[in-house]
Amino acid sequence: MESLYEELKFEIFRYTETPISLLLLNRNWYSTSQDPQTRAEWLMYKYGRAHALFHAVRLGKSFITEKVVQGLIARGAIFSRYFIQRLVMQFGIQNHKSTPNCSWAANLPLSAFTKLMTEALHQLNGNIAVKGNDMELFQFLTAATLPINHASPRFFDNLNEIENLILEYKFIPFPYRPKILPTTENYPSSDGYENNKQIHLLSRAVLIYPNIVKYWKQIGYHEVCRDLNDIVIKGMFMTFFPMTPPANWVCPTPKILAEKLKELINVGFKLNDNVIKSTVKLFKLKFNIMGEAVINSFIIICGDRVTKIVESILS
Q: What pLDDT, in 10s, does the model give residues 281-304?
A: 888 777 777 888 888 999 999 998
The upper half-sphere exposure of residue 230, i.e. CA atoms within 13 Å in the direction of its Cβ, equals 12
Provide CB contacts within 8 A for 110, sequence distance 6+: none
The answer, yes or no, to whether residue 79 has pLDDT greater than 80, is: yes
Phi, psi dihedrals of residue 129, rounded to the nearest 5°: 40, 60
Can you give the pLDDT at residue 225? Answer: 97
pLDDT of residue 9: 59
Q: Looking at the predicted structure, is the pLDDT value of residue 96 above 60?
A: no
| Residues, the chain | 315
The whole-number average pLDDT for the span 17-41 is 69
pLDDT of 11 above 90: no
For residue 1, pLDDT over 50 is answered with: no
What pLDDT shows up at residue 98? 41
What is the value of pTM for the model shown?
A: 0.87
- The per-residue pLDDT of the chain, averaged, comes to 87
- pLDDT band for position 311 (50/70/90)? confident
Question: Is the per-residue pLDDT at 6 higher than 90?
Answer: no
More confident residue, 61 or 137: 137
Mean pLDDT of 88-94: 83
